[in-house]
Structure 1
Amino acid sequence: MELVYNTGIIFSIVLYLMLLCYRYAVGRKEKSSLPTNWPILDMIPALLKNIDRLHQFKTELLEQSGGTYMFKGPWFSNTDMLFTCDPANIHHVFSKNFSNYPKGPEFRKIFEILGDGIFNADFELWEIHRRTTISLLTHSKFHSSLESTVWGKVETGLLPVLASFCKQGAEVDLQDIFQRFTFDNICKVVLDFDPSSLCVELPHIPCEKAFSHSVEPLLLRHIVPESIWKLQKRLKIGSEKQLMEASQNFDDFIYPLISLKNGEQENDTNLLTVFRKVYEEKHVGPSSGLRDFLKDTSLSLIFAGRDTTSTCLTWLFWLIARNPLTETKILEEIHTVLHLKEDKKWRRFNVEESHKLIYLHGALCESLRLFPPVALEHKAPTKPDILPSGHYLPANAKLIFSFYSVGRMETVWGKDCLEFRPDRWIAPGGRIKHEPSYKFPAFNVGPRTCLGKEMAFIQMKMVAAAIIYHYRIELVEGNQVSPRVSIILQAKPGLKVRLTKRDI
Structure 2
Amino acid sequence: MATTSTPFDVQELMSRFMFDLAAIPLFSVDPNLLSMYMPPMEAAVALDTVMEVAFLRLMMPASCWKSMRWLNIGPERKLKAAHTVLGEFVTEMLERRKINTCPVGNDEEEEVVDIISSFINDPDYADDDLGQAMIISYMLAARDTVGTTLTWLFYNLTQNPDIISIIRKELSPVASRKVAAGARAMLTFEPDDIESLVYLRATLYETLRLYPPAPLEIKMVAADDILPSGHKVHAGDTILISILSTRRMKSVWGNDCLDYNPSRWLTEDGNNIRYVPSHKFLAFNSGPRMCLGKNIAIMQMKTVIAAVLWNFDVQVVEGQSIQPKPSCILEMKNGLILKLKKRDM
TM-score by structure 1 length? 0.63
Structure 1 residue corresponding to 2:235, chosen from 382, 385, 395 = 395
Tell me, what secondary structure is at the counterpart of 1:451? coil
The answer for the alignment partner of 1:310 in structure 2 is 147
Paired with 1:351 and 1:491, the residues of 2 have a C-alpha distance of 28
The answer for the alignment partner of 1:40 in structure 2 is none
Alignment of 1:212-291 (within 5 A): 212-261=48-97, 264=101, 267=111, 269-277=113-121, 279-280=122-123, 284-285=124-125, 289-291=126-128
Asked which structure has the greater RCO (Cα within 8 Å, sep 6+), the reply is 2
Q: Which runs of 5+ in 1 are unaligned?
A: 1-164
The answer for the alignment partner of 1:449 in structure 2 is 290
Deviation of 1:267 (Å): 4.9
Runs of 4+ in structure 1 deviating by more than 4 angstroms, as ranges, are 265-268
Paired with 2:55 and 2:129, the residues of 1 have a C-alpha distance of 25
The answer for the alignment partner of 2:307 in structure 1 is 466
Partner amino acid, structure 1, of 2:39? P
Tell me, what secondary structure is at the counterpart of 2:296? helix
TM-score by structure 2 length? 0.91
Q: Which runs of 5+ in 2 are unaligned?
A: 102-108
Deviation of 1:259 (Å): 4.3
Change (3 A) 1:393 1:267: farther
Tell me, what secondary structure is at the counterpart of 2:6? coil
The answer for the alignment partner of 1:361 in structure 2 is 201
Paired with 1:247 and 1:379, the residues of 2 have a C-alpha distance of 24
Work out whether 1:337 is the aligned partner of 2:174.
yes
Deviation of 1:197 (Å): 0.7
Whether the 8 Å CA contact 2:28–2:112 is kept in 1: the answer is: no
Tell me, what secondary structure is at the counterpart of 2:78? helix
Deviation of 1:293 (Å): 3.7
Paired with 1:185 and 1:270, the residues of 2 have a C-alpha distance of 13
Tell me, what secondary structure is at the counterpart of 2:3? helix
* More helix as a share of residues: 1
Tell me, what secondary structure is at the counterpart of 1:399? strand
Alignment of 1:479-490 (within 5 A): 479-490=320-331
Deviation of 1:351 (Å): 2.4
Deviation of 1:175 (Å): 0.5
Whether the 8 Å CA contact 1:335–1:341 is kept in 2: the answer is: no
Whether the 8 Å CA contact 2:19–2:143 is kept in 1: the answer is: yes
The answer for the alignment partner of 1:156 in structure 2 is none
Partner amino acid, structure 2, of 1:233? R
Paired with 2:120 and 2:77, the residues of 1 have a C-alpha distance of 32
Paired with 1:334 and 1:203, the residues of 2 have a C-alpha distance of 34
The answer for the alignment partner of 2:106 in structure 1 is none
Paired with 2:146 and 2:331, the residues of 1 have a C-alpha distance of 11
User: Which digits, 9 at most, give the CA deviation of each residue in 1:80-133, with x for residues without a partner?
Assistant: xxxxxxxxxxxxxxxxxxxxxxxxxxxxxxxxxxxxxxxxxxxxxxxxxxxxxx
Paired with 1:260 and 1:337, the residues of 2 have a C-alpha distance of 40
The answer for the alignment partner of 1:113 in structure 2 is none
Deviation of 1:290 (Å): 4.2
Structure 1 residue corresponding to 2:264, chosen from 424, 438, 449 = 424
Structure 1 residue corresponding to 2:217, chosen from 360, 371, 377 = 377
Deviation of 1:342 (Å): 5.5
The answer for the alignment partner of 1:90 in structure 2 is none
Deviation of 1:256 (Å): 2.9
The answer for the alignment partner of 2:188 in structure 1 is 348
Whichever of the two has the greater Rg, that structure is 1
Work out whether 1:183 is the aligned partner of 2:19.
yes
Aligned length: 333
Partner amino acid, structure 2, of 1:464? I
RMSD across aligned C-alpha pairs, in angstroms?
A: 1.9
Tell me, what secondary structure is at the counterpart of 1:492? coil
The answer for the alignment partner of 2:132 in structure 1 is 295
Partner amino acid, structure 2, of 1:456? A
Structure 2 residue corresponding to 1:439, chosen from 280, 296, 300 = 280
Deviation of 1:339 (Å): 2.6
Tell me, what secondary structure is at the counterpart of 1:493? coil
Whether the 8 Å CA contact 2:202–2:273 is kept in 1: the answer is: yes
